[in-house]
Amino acid sequence: MVLELVIILLAYLLGSIPSGLIVGKVGYGIDIREHGSGNLGGTNTFRTLGKKAGLIVTSADILKGTLATLLPSLLMGHSFPDYFPLLVGMVAVVGHMYPIFAGFKGGKAVATSGGVLLGYNPILFITTLLCFFIFLKLTKMVSLSSMLVALYCITFSIVYSIFIKTDYPLIIVVSLLAAFVFYRHRANISRIKNKTEPKIKWL
């Protein structure tokens, strides 16, 4: 039980690493919380610091979720419940949204949630990434595309459980992660309704 609690704590601390803040301050001398949307995630990094910084931050945020999800295997071998990697990954997402290292004001849960999927079900991650870019091509809005792929992930997990392998923990955790994504995009939803949400121009 002690080791499980240590892993959960490590997952939260891992998720709390503010990639956007670190890259902005170390690489550019900029606190991205003072620019753009003020968010620490990859999207604001892209807009504020450019493609290179955005890719670094997004990749780092994905890897946080992946590493957290793999912590049980790395530290416990195979002696843990099937749901535990997903639980640990979800804790990392909470750390990403509310990081202790950045005043509990973090990202919007998308990239780190994707990292959890990568660590637990790579096929779901790959198809989610593909769907994200399809939605982005169609809508030109990162926020809307993020919410649409959250719905896709719920659909995938249900279909996967029905036709391939019953996995109720995946359905539950994916649904919670989707709820996180929608909750963190509340302001974006309002802007989408008002037709004031920024659109990308590179795709």
Residue range 145-183, pLDDT digits in tens? 999 999 999 999 999 999 999 999 999 999 999 999 999
pLDDT tier at 14 (50, 70, 90 boundaries)?
Answer: very high
pLDDT at 139 over 90: yes
Q: Quick one: pLDDT at residue 129?
A: 97
Of 76-80, 84-88, 139-143, which range is least confident? 76-80
For 140, the token pair is 């030109």
Q: Quick one: pLDDT at residue 127?
A: 98
Q: Quick one: pLDDT at residue 124?
A: 97
Q: In this predicted model, what pLDDT tens digit does every residue of 88-133 receive, in sequence order?
A: 999 999 999 999 999 999 999 999 999 999 999 999 999 999 999 9
For 109, the token pair is 């849960």
For 152, the token pair is 């896709």
Q: Is there a contact between 84 and 138 (Cβ–Cβ < 8 Å)?
A: no
Round to the nearest angstrom and report the end-to-end CA distance of the chain. 48
pLDDT at 1 over 90: no
Q: Is there a contact between 35 and 59 (Cβ–Cβ < 8 Å)?
A: no
Phi, psi of 6 (to 5 degrees): -65, -40
User: To the nearest whole percent, how much of the chain has pLDDT over 70?
Assistant: 100
pLDDT tier at 13 (50, 70, 90 boundaries)?
Answer: very high
Q: Quick one: pLDDT at residue 201?
A: 85
The mean of the pLDDT values for the chain is 95
pLDDT at 3 over 90: yes
Q: Which residue has the higher pLDDT, 89 or 47?
A: 89
- Reduce the DSSP state of residue 27 to 3 states and report it: helix
